[in-house]
Structure 1
Amino acid sequence: MYVAVKGGERAIENAHAWLAEERRGDTKVAELTIEQIREQLSLSVHRVMAEGSLYDPDLAALAIKQSRGDLIEAIFLIRAYRTTLPRFGSSKPIDTGVMDCDRRISATFKDLPGGQILGPTFDYTHRLLDFKLAADGEVAEAPSRDVEPADVPHVTEFLNQEGLIEEAPHDDTMPPDLTREPLEMPADRALRLQALTRSDEGFTLGMAYSTQRGYGRNHAFVGELRIGSVPVEMEILELGFSIEIGEITLTECETVNQFTGSKTEPPQFTRGYGLVFGQTERKAISMALVDRALRWEELGEDSAGAPAQDAEFVLYHADNIQATGFLEHIKLPHYVDFQSELELVRKLRREAGAHQVQEAAE
């Protein structure tokens, strides 16, 4: 039970004004622009787009600025805005096989058609602070790509040629839309993947890490990790054919996992899959590991009882907006609830004291 808080409107307005002042900071320092955030804090922008389920770098940058860099708050803003947008139609399924890759690596095959592309990554940096950045030093430009993009077939196709990896399932059934319908259990793989795409990166990383430490019998190799742009096409009924409406940047990860076989399947490798907006490779890898852990039942494996294998536990706790809302609501007034609890504790103490006095008298 909650009671109305009267007389707090001015306090709330003042809090908003103070928040705006704190967000702006020292006015002697130039204010950040949306373009600066979009271009120089791009990984934060990509995370907000991914977990906010809206691909718009400018709006994601605006949300980051408004939230003072609190990415979960920025994701909340993006999701709230997304609910106001009309839906004109649906795009065709994207084909990541035609991705123009900025980064493409495999931990399972060294020599790949199209080659391994290290791309823009922190993997080979020394993790030392670069004080040139504090001095506003200019960064040398990267060498330009003078070659035409090569064909980059998926690595798992090589294993498919020998029948060593499970076939990717083909299902033309329209999956449920988690952005419009609440999550319900049991959840099929399509719904689980949607939830993992929107899930909190830190939570998903923790779940993935647990599988690597033995909580889920999930030993995985990164079959392929690729980052790049793919065209988005939409079917236009009036024209009778599809047209390209733009390009988006995606991160895709396929893991190759050990599988001893079952009563119906021979020993082979299985797949874990992750696909996320933007350059978000940590999230994509984590998503693929958790996806594979959640597939234990459909693959006929025994459950180890690990948290990452419990679909209800993972999916109901992965969404940072739901988690934040439930967590932070305890900051709101609970005066009546607490008074009732306080009175109950006082009553129990009085009864316990009276009981002790009675025992002493006897």
Structure 2
Amino acid sequence: MYVAVKGGEKAIENAHAWLAEERRGSTDVTELSIAQIREQLSLAVNRVMAEGSLFDPDLAALAIKQARGDLIEAIFLVRAYRTTLPRFGYSNPVETGQMACDRRISATFKDAPGGQVLGSTFDYTHRLLDFKLAAEGEVPLAPESQPRSEPIPHIADFLQDEGIIQDEPTSDATPGDLTREPMEFPAGRPLRLQSLTRGDEGFVLGMAYSTQRGYARNHAFVGELRIGKVAVEMDIPELGFAIEIGEVELTECETVNQFKGSKTEPPQFTRGYGLVFGQSERKSIAMALVDRALRWGELGEENLGAPAQDEEFVLSHADNIQATGFLEHIKLPHYVDFQAELELVRKLRLETDGRTTPQEAAE
């Protein structure tokens, strides 16, 4: 039972004012602009867009500023704003094979068709603090390079041509929309992927790591990781054809997993898949590992009882906004509940001591 607190309006107003002051910080320091956050904290912006389910770098940067850098709070702000937007319809599936790749690597083939494009990455940096950044000097510009505009084939296509990787089932059925309908179990793969791409990066990473440590049969190779921009198209009924309405930056990961076969499937490689807004490599790889772990049923594998194989466990706990709401509600007044618990514990202690009333205890 919750108890409404009355008469605290002034205290709440003061708390809001104090929050605004803390958010601003020292006025001796130049205020951080939305453009600075968008351009220089781009990976944080990408995470907020991905888990907030809204591709808008400026709004994500604004949310980060408003939330004082608390990314989960920023994601909450973006999702809340998203619910106020009109919905015009659904875009067509994006063609990631047509992606203008800024980065594209494969851990399965050294000489991958289309080439390896390292792009901007922390992979080859030393994990040492760079104190030159504290000097706030000009950073040397990298040599000019252009995204690969020509279509780059997916690595899995070559394995599929050889017949040694599973075919991805296709369907003309319209997938469910997790942003409009609550999750129901069992959930199909489209809903699972929606849930994972919106899921908390840390949680999904932890689940993925558990599969690598043996809590699921999931030995994976990164078949391909690509980052770049893709066109977004939408069918216009009045025109009778689709038009391009914009472009989004995406990170796509497809894993190649060992599979010895089952009663229903022959020995072959299988796949895990991750697709996330912006440059979100860790999240997309983790998503692909968890996606593969959750596919045990459709592949006829044995359920080893691993956490990452439990659809209800994974999907019900991946959403950081739901988790935050349930966790933080215990800050609300629970005075009546606690008084009832307090009286119960006192009574039990009396009974344990062989006394039945507070008076007896006092004597």
Taking structure 2 as the reference length, what is the TM-score of the superposition?
0.96
SS at structure 2 position matched to 1:233: strand
SS at structure 2 position matched to 1:230: strand
Tell me what 2:241 maps to: 241
- Kindly indicate whether the alpha-carbon contact (under 8 Å) linking 1:252 and 1:274 is maintained by their aligned counterparts in 2: yes
Tell me what 2:252 maps to: 252
SS at structure 1 position matched to 2:353: helix
Residue 40 in structure 1 maps to residue 40 in structure 2: yes
SS at structure 2 position matched to 1:65: helix
Once residues 173 and 34 of structure 2 are traced to their aligned partners in structure 1, the CA distance between those partners, rounded to angstroms, is 40
Once residues 156 and 164 of structure 1 are traced to their aligned partners in structure 2, the CA distance between those partners, rounded to angstroms, is 10
**Percent of aligned pairs sharing the same letter:** 78
Q: Shift of the alpha carbon at 1:168?
A: 1.5
Once residues 12 and 320 of structure 2 are traced to their aligned partners in structure 1, the CA distance between those partners, rounded to angstroms, is 25
Tell me what 1:226 maps to: 226
- Kindly indicate whether the alpha-carbon contact (under 8 Å) linking 1:234 and 1:244 is maintained by their aligned counterparts in 2: yes
AA aligned opposite 1:120 = S
Residue 71 in structure 1 maps to residue 71 in structure 2: yes
SS at structure 2 position matched to 1:217: coil
Tell me what 2:160 maps to: 160
Once residues 50 and 164 of structure 1 are traced to their aligned partners in structure 2, the CA distance between those partners, rounded to angstroms, is 33
Once residues 339 and 146 of structure 2 are traced to their aligned partners in structure 1, the CA distance between those partners, rounded to angstroms, is 72
AA aligned opposite 1:251 = T
Residue 337 in structure 1 maps to residue 356 in structure 2: no
AA aligned opposite 1:37 = I
Alignment of 1:91-170 (within 5 A): 91-145=91-145, 149-170=149-170
Alignment of 1:7-46 (within 5 A): 7-46=7-46
Q: RMSD value over aligned CA atoms?
A: 1.3
SS at structure 2 position matched to 1:131: coil
AA aligned opposite 1:52 = G
- Kindly indicate whether the alpha-carbon contact (under 8 Å) linking 2:102 and 2:148 is maintained by their aligned counterparts in 1: no
AA aligned opposite 1:239 = L
Once residues 266 and 349 of structure 1 are traced to their aligned partners in structure 2, the CA distance between those partners, rounded to angstroms, is 63
- Kindly indicate whether the alpha-carbon contact (under 8 Å) linking 2:234 and 2:243 is maintained by their aligned counterparts in 1: yes
Q: Show CA shifts across 1:37-61 (max 9, x none).
A: 0000000000000000000000000
Once residues 328 and 58 of structure 1 are traced to their aligned partners in structure 2, the CA distance between those partners, rounded to angstroms, is 28
Alignment of 1:312-327 (within 5 A): 312-327=312-327
- Kindly indicate whether the alpha-carbon contact (under 8 Å) linking 1:104 and 1:119 is maintained by their aligned counterparts in 2: yes
Once residues 260 and 113 of structure 1 are traced to their aligned partners in structure 2, the CA distance between those partners, rounded to angstroms, is 27
- Kindly indicate whether the alpha-carbon contact (under 8 Å) linking 2:347 and 2:356 is maintained by their aligned counterparts in 1: no
Once residues 146 and 290 of structure 1 are traced to their aligned partners in structure 2, the CA distance between those partners, rounded to angstroms, is 33
AA aligned opposite 2:241 = F
Q: Shift of the alpha carbon at 1:265?
A: 2.1
Q: Shift of the alpha carbon at 1:73?
A: 0.1
Once residues 9 and 94 of structure 1 are traced to their aligned partners in structure 2, the CA distance between those partners, rounded to angstroms, is 49
SS at structure 2 position matched to 1:223: strand
Once residues 288 and 265 of structure 2 are traced to their aligned partners in structure 1, the CA distance between those partners, rounded to angstroms, is 22
Change (3 A) 1:256 1:226: same
Once residues 142 and 110 of structure 2 are traced to their aligned partners in structure 1, the CA distance between those partners, rounded to angstroms, is 24
Taking structure 1 as the reference length, what is the TM-score of the superposition?
0.97
Q: Shift of the alpha carbon at 1:149?
A: 2.9
Number of aligned residue pairs? 357
Q: Which runs of 5+ in 2 are unaligned?
A: 358-363
Q: Show CA shifts across 1:96-152 (max 9, x none).
A: 000000000000011122200000000000011111110002111111126863431
Q: Which runs of 5+ in 1 are unaligned?
A: 358-362
SS at structure 1 position matched to 2:152: coil
- Kindly indicate whether the alpha-carbon contact (under 8 Å) linking 1:175 and 1:191 is maintained by their aligned counterparts in 2: yes
AA aligned opposite 2:60 = A
Once residues 148 and 215 of structure 1 are traced to their aligned partners in structure 2, the CA distance between those partners, rounded to angstroms, is 38
AA aligned opposite 1:243 = I
Q: Shift of the alpha carbon at 1:353?
A: 2.2
Alignment of 1:182-221 (within 5 A): 182-221=182-221
